[in-house]
């Protein structure tokens, strides 16, 4: 019922848009004038910035009032949707074009700061302690999830209720697209609540490697486009995937280590502003180089960030340490907030999308099933291994992943902007319908799962308020600084 | 000869390119997003590698102390070489990606630079030299644009190259090429530590310049097709002044609003959000202003200034540092990038039509127009200063000596703003004009930028003057553990800076020695009093008074008032307990030196300055700055309160000085 209303609304809107497109065509000519164009792009950017200010302000307000029922990402998406609707209804299409989702902007501008900051802020000890679980979920889980979702979609298309023709490879690639879980919302809630670092690390590690895995899977399926899929191609795909992953990791680590060596063996420490720029540029270079080589830029950048923090950090000048940290944090926060606004906006400003309500419902259902199929069996396997190991050592061992952690992992399966950006690469006759489905499903998962995470934490009774050292970092930095300063004062005196 | 070779090479290349374009049409399958993304990744990777190379060169040049070559020139050449390689390679996707787009320039590259300029602006110096700056920025740019426009118009009338350029288009062209670029010159000045006065004038001129030439260009675009008469001129000036004022207001209002928001909210408890918001507010002012057909540059510049002047003190410590570093880093990246971009676009722009004679004429015209704007205006400024000085009955050295004038002329290299504006040129010869602008800009950067350092030596302009920029960074590294001390230290350094500036102006050995003594006292005092904020804050906050005092001393009372800075310092430090007394004294005294003196007209600028400063101290700052005490434990929040208690002192000190001076 509700979905029917929604689709009729969407239909009328898309009709409205076609009209606008036709009526807008006369002023296609005068928009070639760069100063006019610049003015429109200024307005578009101003709107985006105003939305961003609003979202950050909401986040502040929610934190200050300790309101936890609503999360700022949900607010951002809704604000984006409302503004997108207004932009769509208002005449002229230039602003609409300027604010619509472009995957190249996403991959080249918005994603790198987030990944880099993730790598840079990564708690290496926690991460490596849980590396087994993380890798199991990231690799096994994503693969299972993509295949299950792909099968569901394929079967649905096969039934032919909506006249869709989706070949199996395409169905798999949609599955891969929708297997990239997004960490931002969940992790920011976890941060506020100070949830057990183990759960935090697992979800964080899974979601970040997830993106890389699903990108590589998606590209692999794109390569098989048109071919028949057999067992040999499965092996080929796995081989391709592992190679990509390893090489990307190496690129990132080598760039990080090179930076550390350069910092150590040069006197660039004396020019901290140049140093700061260079560190940022090296990290970005690893990302783009890796992407350019058909490798996974995300993996490279992540591990570049990790190596930078682990090795290069100690060769930097004090000023660079501080400014790099702050710049990464600020840029990543801006990007994160922006992505949700962008998602909300693009729901209405994308022109070509074709909304198929039943497909959306099926996909939504498929997502839950596939996440279920990925999380629970894998958790059981992990628990089994841990118990076996504990028994071998002869000591009783609690479950590695207790029941409520498993449910939380399931709940953390909300899909993110990476999926939407990947979906831009979908081909075939029903590409627009699939793209629309991916976008709507992503927005729905963020609203549903993201909006209820805080409640879920309470219901499951997961321990909160665990002290992490993230916040103390700053204080320590200050402390070190004060000590150093006092030492120098002593020398002066 | 060389020109014809160049042009044939360019022609050859452009033919090569159109071939490549045809060949490239089959691979229009690039519509595939993943393929497209791949190419854009390579393009970005190339740009980043160039940027790394440029920064590394800059580091290398600095460490080897090589001053013959400047990194911007290296950047441009590196960009040109890579652009050539990209052009020769088959396929046009990367070429399209790296070619100059004015929207990228105006929306991504320019804002960080302008914002950082506003934020790092030495406000005291800037407003002390506001007269020459405004003269050069407004009148200078206008003269330059008109002279260049006339030269080009006359050249087109001669018809040697078959160009037909209407007068308005020629004026637009002139406006485009009147935006001087500060980056190269100022980075050289920074390395050499040139006299802050010259630095400030060139800096202020070049930054306001951009705004002026953008507004002029847009005005000429609006007049496009109409005949330009006197009424058009007046209308243009009217539009220009309105635009400038409104833009300035937008920027200041946004800055003040930010200060108020920061003051009346508890957002400083969430420093990461705070940092983002400050950045966003500044950008919002830029885009809003641009969207309203106003000048985003002016808005952003003044937004930066207001942010630094008011909002800075309401921020949490973390945000203060984060914004400072972030603005600096982004600005540096943008600056370096722009030169690479210019070099690249010389070869990657496809449509350009190179007319060698026009280029030579324009390069010549640029020198003439710069000459016509710098020297007469300098003479005018010197004349005004001399009359003002004689009104006081004493001799002062020239405001702008000859070598400063030549340096100002030499600083007239044109920048990327012109190239970006040029993309808006219309008419049949737009491509030829665009190509001319691009080449002339690159040429001026190479010629003037490459020879600035030797020019400094030839002219014998004093270098090695201590500025506070580098110092304060080092200070910052050590200081910001404790809230007030960083502020204190840097402000004291400001005053040392002012002393040096002052020295320069007088150039008398006696005052030098006295000043050295004073600055030694100043340097020592914070070290002695570190950690005890109550003693230190008065010191730091009497920055205004020292600047005031040195200014007045220079203008009014000769070398007699020389030791006063140190006196004011000690007195203000001693008076820290009797704040209210001093405040009332300052209020009663501040009006006395204004009346009963001859040359009232000549002094109005200083009067306005002092009136504004009083207004600023007593009305604006209490309203805008955060004055409540916080129960928060972080030490930075104690800063504003201690400032407030000490804020009456500077005016007390300055008014006393005024009394003693008169």
Chain B hits for A338, Cβ within 8 Å:
none
Contact assessment for residue A457 and residue A195, using Cβ atoms and an 8 Å cutoff: yes
Chain B hits for A54, Cβ within 8 Å:
none
More confident residue, A319 or B1: A319
Instruction: Look at residue B504 and tell me whether its pLDDT is greater than 90.
Output: no
Closest partner CB to A59 (pick from B51, B273, B283): B273
At A109-145, the pLDDT tens digits run 888 998 898 888 888 888 888 888 888 888 889 889 9
Q: Assign B98 a pLDDT band (cuts: 50, 70, 90).
A: confident
Most confident by average pLDDT, A388-392, A428-432, B182-186, B378-382: B378-382
Contact assessment for residue B308 and residue B119, using Cβ atoms and an 8 Å cutoff: yes
Which pLDDT does position B390 carry in this prediction? 81
Question: Which of A60, A90, A298, A77 is closest to B316 using CA atoms?
Answer: A60
Q: Assign A477 a pLDDT band (cuts: 50, 70, 90).
A: low
The tokens describing B352, both together, are 């350009």
Q: What is the rounded distance in angstroms from the CA atom of residue A418 to the CA atom of residue A439?
A: 10
The tokens describing B498, both together, are 């002012």
Q: What percent of chain B has pLDDT over 90?
A: 8
DSSP class of residue B392?
A: T
Q: Assign B250 a pLDDT band (cuts: 50, 70, 90).
A: very high
Instruction: Look at residue A483 and tell me whether its pLDDT is greater than 60.
Output: no
Chain A hits for B326, Cβ within 8 Å:
323, 326-327, 330
Chain A hits for B49, Cβ within 8 Å:
285
Instruction: Look at residue B470 and tell me whether its pLDDT is greater than 70.
Output: no
Look at phi and psi of residue A159 and say left if phi exceeds 0, alpha if psi is from -120 to 50, else beta: alpha
Instruction: Look at residue B251 and tell me whether its pLDDT is greater than 90.
Output: yes
Q: What is the mean pLDDT of chain A?
A: 80
Exposure of B96 in the CB half-sphere (CA atoms within 13 A) = 12
Q: What is the rounded distance in angstroms from the CA atom of residue A105 to the CA atom of residue A113?
A: 12
Label residues A391-422 b or e (16+ Cβ within 10 Å = b): eeeeeeeeebbeebbbbbbbbbbbbbbbbbbb
Q: What is the rounded distance in angstroms from the CA atom of residue B543 to the CA atom of residue B523?
A: 13
Q: What is the rounded distance in angstroms from the CA atom of residue A297 to the CA atom of residue A289?
A: 8
Chain B contact for A113, CB < 8 A?
Answer: no
Chain B contact for A104, CB < 8 A?
Answer: yes
Q: Which helix (H) or strand (E) holds A110?
A: none
Q: How far is CA A53 from CA A340, B110, B301, in A?
A: 13, 21, 20
Closest partner CB to A104 (pick from B37, B55, B336): B37
Most confident by average pLDDT, A106-115, A252-261, A454-463: A252-261
DSSP class of residue B225?
A: T
Chain B hits for A64, Cβ within 8 Å:
266, 269
Q: Assign A247 a pLDDT band (cuts: 50, 70, 90).
A: very high
pTM of the model: 0.77
Mean pLDDT of A164-176: 84
Instruction: Look at residue B281 and tell me whether its pLDDT is greater than 90.
Output: yes
Chain A hits for B328, Cβ within 8 Å:
273, 323
Instruction: Look at residue B639 and tell me whether its pLDDT is greater than 50.
Output: no
Most confident by average pLDDT, B257-271, B530-544, B562-576: B257-271
Most confident by average pLDDT, A302-311, A347-356, A474-483: A302-311
Closest partner CB to A38 (pick from B55, B62, B103): B103
Closest partner CB to A49 (pick from B102, B284, B424): B284
**Residue with structure tokens 């050069």?**
B136
Closest partner CB to B107 (pick from A41, A271, A479): A41
ipTM summary value: 0.83
Instruction: Look at residue B615 and tell me whether its pLDDT is greater than 60.
Output: yes
Binary contact (B481, A49; C-beta < 8 A): no
A and B: number of Cβ contacts within 8 A: 193
Nearest chain B Cα distance for residue A137, angstroms: 26
3-state secondary structure of B396: coil
At B329-362, the pLDDT tens digits run 998 899 888 888 888 888 887 777 888 888 899 9
Binary contact (B265, A60; C-beta < 8 A): yes
């Amino acid at each position: 019922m509700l979905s029917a209303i929604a689709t009729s609304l969407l239909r009328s809107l898309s009709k409205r848009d076609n009209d606008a497109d036709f009526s807008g065509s006369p002023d296609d000519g005068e928009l070639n004038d760069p100063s006019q164009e610049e003015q429109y792009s200024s307005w578009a950017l101003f709107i985006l910035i105003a939305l961003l200010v609003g979202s950050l302000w909401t986040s502040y307000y929610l934190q200050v009032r300790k309101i936890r029922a609503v999360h700022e990402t949900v607010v951002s998406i809704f604000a984006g949707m409302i503004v997108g609707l207004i932009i769509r209804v208002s005449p002229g299409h230039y602003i609409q074009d300027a604010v619509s989702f472009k995957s190249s902007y996403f991959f080249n501008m918005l994603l790198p700061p987030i990944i880099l900051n993730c790598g840079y802020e990564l708690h290496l000890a926690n991460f490596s302690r849980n590396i087994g679980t993380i890798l199991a979920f990231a690799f096994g889980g994503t693969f299972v999830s993509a295949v299950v979702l792909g099968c569901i979609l394929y079967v649905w298309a096969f039934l032919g209720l909506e006249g869709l023709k989706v070949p199996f490879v395409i169905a798999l690639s949609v599955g891969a697209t929708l297997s990239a879980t997004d960490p931002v919302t969940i992790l920011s809630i976890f941060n506020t609540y100070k949830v057990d670092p183990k759960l935090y690390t697992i979800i964080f590690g899974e979601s970040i490697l997830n993106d890389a895995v699903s990108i590589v899977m998606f590209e692999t399926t794109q390569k098989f486009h048109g071919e028949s899929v057999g067992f040999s191609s499965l092996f080929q795909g796995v081989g391709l995937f592992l190679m990509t992953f390893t090489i990307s990791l190496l690129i990132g680590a080598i760039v990080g280590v090179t930076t550390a060596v350069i910092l150590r063996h040069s006197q660039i420490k004396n020019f901290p502003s140049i140093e700061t720029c260079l560190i940022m540029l090296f990290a970005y270079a690893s990302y783009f180089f890796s992407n350019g080589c058909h490798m996974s830029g995300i993996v490279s950048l992540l591990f570049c960030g990790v190596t930078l923090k682990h090795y290069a950090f100690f060769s930097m000048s004090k000023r660079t340490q501080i400014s790099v940290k702050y710049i990464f944090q600020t840029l990543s926060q801006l990007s994160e907030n922006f992505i949700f606004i962008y998602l909300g906006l693009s729901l209405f400003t994308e022109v070509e999308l074709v909304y198929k309500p039943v497909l959306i419902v099926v996909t939504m259902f498929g997502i839950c099933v596939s996440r279920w199929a990925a999380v629970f069996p894998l958790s059981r396997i992990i628990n089994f291994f841990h118990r076996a190991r504990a028994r071998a050592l002869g000591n009783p061992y609690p479950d590695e992943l207790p029941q409520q952690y498993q449910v939380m992992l399931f709940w953390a399966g909300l899909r993110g902007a990476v999926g939407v950006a990947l979906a831009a690469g979908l081909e075939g006759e029903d590409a627009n319908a699939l793209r629309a489905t991916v976008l709507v499903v992503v927005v729905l998962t963020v609203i549903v799962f993201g909006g209820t995470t805080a409640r879920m934490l309470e219901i499951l009774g997961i321990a909160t308020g665990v002290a992490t050292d993230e916040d103390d970092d700053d204080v320590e930095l200050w402390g070190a600084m004060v000590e150093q300063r006092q030492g120098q004062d002593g020398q002066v005196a | 000869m060389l020109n014809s070779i160049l042009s044939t090479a360019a022609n050859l290349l452009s033919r090569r390119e159109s071939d490549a374009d045809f060949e490239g049409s089959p691979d229009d399958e690039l519509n595939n997003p993943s393929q497209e993304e791949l190419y854009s990744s390579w393009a970005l990777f190339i740009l980043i590698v160039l940027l790394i190379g440029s920064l590394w060169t800059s580091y290398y040049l600095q460490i080897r102390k090589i001053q013959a070559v400047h990194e911007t020139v290296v950047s441009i050449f590196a960009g040109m070489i890579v652009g050539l390689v990209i052009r020769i390679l088959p396929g046009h996707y990367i070429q399209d990606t790296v070619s100059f787009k004015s929207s990228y320039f105006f929306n991504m590259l320019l804002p960080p630079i302008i914002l950082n300029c506003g934020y790092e602006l030495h406000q005291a110096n800037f407003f002390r030299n506001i007269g020459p700056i405004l003269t050069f920025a407004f009148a200078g740019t206008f003269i330059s644009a008109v002279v260049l426009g006339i030269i080009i118009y006359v050249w087109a009338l001669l018809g040697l190259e078959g160009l037909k350029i209407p007068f308005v288009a020629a004026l637009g062209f002139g406006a485009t090429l009147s935006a001087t670029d500060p980056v190269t010159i100022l980075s050289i000045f920074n390395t050499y530590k040139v006299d802050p006065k010259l630095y400030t004038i060139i800096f202020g001129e070049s930054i306001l310049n951009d705004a002026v030439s953008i507004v002029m260009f847009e005005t000429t675009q609006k007049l496009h097709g109409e005949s330009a008469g006197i009424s058009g001129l007046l209308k243009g000036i009217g539009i220009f002044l309105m635009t400038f004022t409104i833009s300035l207001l937008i920027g200041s209002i946004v800055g003040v609003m930010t200060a108020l928001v920061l003051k009346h909210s508890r957002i400083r408890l969430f420093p990461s959000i705070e940092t983002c918001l400050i950045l966003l507010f500044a950008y919002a002012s830029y885009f809003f202003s641009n969207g309203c057909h106003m000048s985003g540059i002016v808005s952003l510049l003044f937004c930066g200034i207001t942010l630094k002047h008011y909002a800075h003190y309401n921020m949490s410590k973390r945000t203060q540092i984060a914004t400072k570093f972030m603005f600096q880093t982004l600005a540096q990246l943008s600056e370096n990038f722009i030169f690479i971009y210019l070099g690249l676009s010389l070869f990657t722009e496809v449509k350009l039509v190179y007319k060698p004679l026009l280029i030579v004429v324009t390069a010549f015209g640029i020198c003439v127009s710069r000459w016509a704007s710098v020297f007469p205006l300098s003479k005018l400024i010197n004349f005004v200063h001399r009359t003002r000085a004689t009104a006081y009955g004493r001799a002062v050295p020239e405001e702008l000596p000859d070598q400063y004038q030549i340096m100002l002329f030499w600083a007239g290299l044109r920048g990327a703003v012109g190239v970006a504006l040029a993309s808006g040129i219309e008419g049949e010869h737009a491509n030829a004009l665009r190509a001319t602008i691009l080449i002339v800009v690159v040429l001026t950067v190479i010629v003037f930028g490459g020879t600035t350092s030797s020019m400094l030596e030839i002219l014998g302009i004093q270098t090695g003057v201590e500025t506070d920029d580098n110092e304060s960074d080092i200070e910052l590294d050590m200081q910001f553990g404790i809230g007030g001390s960083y502020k204190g230290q840097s402000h004291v350094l400001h005053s040392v800076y002012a002393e040096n500036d002052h020295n320069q102006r007088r150039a008398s050995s006696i005052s030098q020695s006295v000043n050295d003594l004073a600055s030694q006292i100043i340097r020592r005092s914070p070290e002695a009093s570190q950690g005890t904020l109550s003693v230190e804050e008065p010191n730091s906050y009497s920055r205004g008074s020292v600047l005031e005092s040195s200014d007045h001393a220079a203008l009014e009372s000769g070398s007699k008032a020389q030791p006063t800075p140190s006196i004011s310092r000690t007195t203000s430090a001693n008076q820290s307990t009797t704040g209210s007394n001093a405040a009332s004294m300052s209020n009663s005294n501040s009006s006395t030196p204004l009346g009963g003196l001859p040359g009232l007209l000549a002094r109005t600028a200083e009067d306005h300055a002092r009136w504004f400063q009083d207004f600023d101290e007593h009305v604006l700052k209490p309203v805008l700055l955060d004055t409540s005490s916080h129960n928060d434990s972080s030490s930075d929040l104690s800063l504003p309160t201690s400032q407030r208690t000490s804020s009456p002192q500077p005016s007390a000190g300055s008014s006393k000085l005024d009394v003693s001076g008169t």
